[in-house]
Structure 1
Amino acid sequence: MSLAAPEPAGAPHTWSHVGLPPFLRWAGGKRWLVSFVEELTSPAQVRRYHEPFAGGAAVFFGIDFGGRSYLSDLNADLIETYAAVQASPDDVWERLRGYRNTEGDYYAVRAARPRKPVNRAARFIFLNHTSFNGLYRVNLRGEYNVPFGYKPSDNRPTLQQLRSASSRLKSATLAVADFSAALENVGEGDLVFLDPPYTVAHNSNGFVKYNDQLFRFADQQRLSVLIDHIRDRNAYYVMTNAAHISIADLFEKGDRRVETSRKNNVGGRSAARGRATEYLFTNLPVA
């Protein structure tokens, strides 16, 4: 899939609270941040919305900015799932409802290779909700290899939830793309929400080495350049990132930097627990 050509800017839109939860579990998801993003965007008039690290797309589902949206991610299976729910939520649910939350079903589904997009989407959603910690991980052959989660209840989406997600996704152009491609569609008055992969389990010790396994520091530098271009186009951005001195220095552009805090569920037994601090950077105007 590729991004569509830029549309005329048109008039700004009035955003509205949707409160629709994401239908996927996603490590590092930002559902907890939606109300704060609502507060940040309240003084702005947003034309179009962009989310180039889509993941669970919690902000997209939680807030409707009224215009066209652009969701992209390097995870082709994820984007295909959104496309299938966008087009055929009933068909996805019909397949999804037949899976049982058992170890046997899990490994049988994990080993399957469905041919139809709606069946692949149902498989993705089922594995997402029944795997260990909802992780997405593949081996060197590109095969999903996360073990069964042994959860007594998997909380997979209902038919109504998939229909609601489908309705919300009607406003979205979907793409499998590197985050840098998002700039192709960014214009004046647009809002770009950036949530790059990172962990805050190691805010102080070994940050760069640990996070290079998720998102290289060279990619952080590319992201900093992308933000420069967003600002040059008189567009808005909101970016979340790890609270680390190297991140603070790299993204210091004279805009606002806010410290946010959330419950930390990253890492194994030795990882930090309790509250974890993250940075949020934005050039949105102050209310």
Structure 2
Amino acid sequence: MLALVMSTLSVQVVDERHWRVVIDNPPTNLVTPDFVRDLHATVERIVAAPELKVVVFESANELFWVNHFDLGQIKDFPPLWTDAVIKLSTAPVVSIAKIRGRARGGGDELLLACDIRYASREKAIVGQIEVGTGILPGGGATERLPRLIGRDRALEAILSADDYPAELAERYGWVTRALPDAELDGVVDALASRLAGFDKQALAAAKQQINRATLPPAEDLHAAYQEFLASLSFPGFPKRLGGLRELYGKHGAGLEVDLGPLLGDLP
């Protein structure tokens, strides 16, 4: 299996029709500037690969699929995130998220940009934490979640900023299926192999038809990212950030594991 290794992820070429993207940005798979650059470059390769039909996104860290944005580096982020997730959703390639661990904030917005989402029943957790930290989502959640789970459930998820286990996420329609962890690899591999054997033109055209009925306008995603950046100036954000630092002092690295529930302890 050929591989292209970058600083935060690697692309493993199963064959020209089927790739695996393995995210590995220790210790907690935060969305960092380097990750955004690597993701964008990878999506560009996905779009340009003439024989590629299916790509699976997975994590090397069973506690974290892809985590939230690293707000400590926000000034260093390249303006590439929105372009990457739009291109992934519209690419003539089927993207499958194989989810073990936490996918919060930007991580959840990446899995929402994937076409199909299979989650480990025991290990997957999804959530949008931004409002709980005093800012707004900006990577696509406010545009994609209502289309998947309805307005009221999207409001619950985004306003509560809480964690959602895989079974509840499946019931809502947030993920395609929640599977026993022991079955997850086999189900994803079987689907990826099946799709890789189909005609690429038919796969891409069918995806385009469904996109026409379901995807948010690209301009809405661009507007949301600008609103996220503006929300970093909300007067309540520094206080919430200070509270998070206090929580880190109490819980250490465990804060990231239980971040959704612990946000309710902020003053």
Normalising by the smaller structure, the TM-score range is: under 0.3
Which structure is higher in helix share? 2
Which is strand-richer, 1 or 2?
2
Name the TM-score, length of structure 1 as normaliser: 0.25
